[in-house]
Amino acid sequence: MDELRSKYLTLIAEAGDEAALETLRVQAVGKKGEVSLQMRELGRMSPEERQVAGPKLNALKDEINSALAAKKQALSDFALDERLRSEWLDVTLPARPRRQGSIHPVSQVTEEVTAIFADMGFAVAEGPQVETDWYNFDALNIPGHHPARAEMDTFYMHRAEGDDRPPHVLRTHTSPVQIRSMEASGAPTRIICPGRVYRADYDQTHTPMFHQIEGLAIDRDISMANLKWVLEEFFTAYFGTEVKTRFRASHFPFTEPSAEVDIQCSFEGGTVKVGEGDDWLEVLGSGMVHPHVLKSAGVDPAEWQGFAFGMGIDRIAMLKYGIPDLRAFFDSDLRWLRHYGFAALDVPTLHGGLSR
């Protein structure tokens, strides 16, 4: 046993690299190593012999393992010293620039859209995200039996027993802002209303929370022709190419007449290209503001008229930047931003460009 100890401690001390050290470990304390084989012989010894040989073998095994660990650390330290002597680093050099943080696509598109409408004279109006039942539905001519007022479609705020206040909801659209704005400022008016809205829906093109922008223009002689011009100017500026629109008759409680608006596009290779081709894609709802809505906001429909429209900010961001799934905006690793062309610290300006 003393011979084994002397043999392996000497060999370990002389080992020149970690590969040689591993070979020695296997030879000494591996499954078939010399020390391991001697430990197997303990079963053939008498109790008295085991009582003497067992502790000595365990002590030898521990000593060899300690010597192996110490030599491995020494080899590692030596390699590091050699590397430090051979390599040179100028710590005074400035670090490579790294961009940190980024503007979220929804925020960027909101700024882009706001800038475009600002050029057409639209001011930005905002309102609360928790709305009364009256502002969210009644003032907008939405009847009590309308499906949007069901709890399966709308998030209603909890009411304690005995609470006799009007029902409150997480707003389902930014249309209540139109009512509040007209109540505060009257007519004429020209506003857009961007913000978060909430609906009980979740799939590839719907999320429980999403972003919407609505527009409202009230004056004495506004018509559907003005609405069409505004929307075509907006889409052309937003997509950077001339975009034709198509109006289809529809029904919304808050407008009369009402129209779904389609934009010209083509579908090629699973992607949508806006402003070309013979296909059409529905992107928003619009129409002339219903007289009941004007009355609810304190505006005389016999003197004033106007148009309103609403679209999803997330959806037009998907169209412009080729993002296939709306849910990716909110529940994905944000490294995908770079994949879709959003670089860190790209800051949209109020003139539609990007500053870095």
**Confidence (pLDDT) at 344:** 46
Q: What pLDDT score was predicted for residue 52?
A: 76
Average pLDDT over residues 144-170: 82
Q: Please report the DSSP string for 135-174 in residue order.
A: HHTGGGT--TT-GGGSTTTS-BPP--TT--SPPEEE-SSS
Please give the pLDDT value at position 204: 62
Instruction: Identify the pLDDT of residue 343.
Output: 56
Give the per-residue pLDDT at 115.
93
Question: For the segment 258-267, what is each residue's pLDDT rounded down to a tens digit?
Answer: 999 999 988 8
Region 9-36: mean pLDDT is: 82
Q: Tell me the average pLDDT across 160-166.
A: 82
Average pLDDT, the chain: 84
pLDDT at 203: 66
pLDDT tens figures, 313-331: 988 888 888 777 766 666 5
Gap between the Cα atoms of 264 and 252, Å rounded: 23
- Whether pTM > 0.75 for this model: the answer is no
Under 8 Å between Cβ of 187 and 219: yes
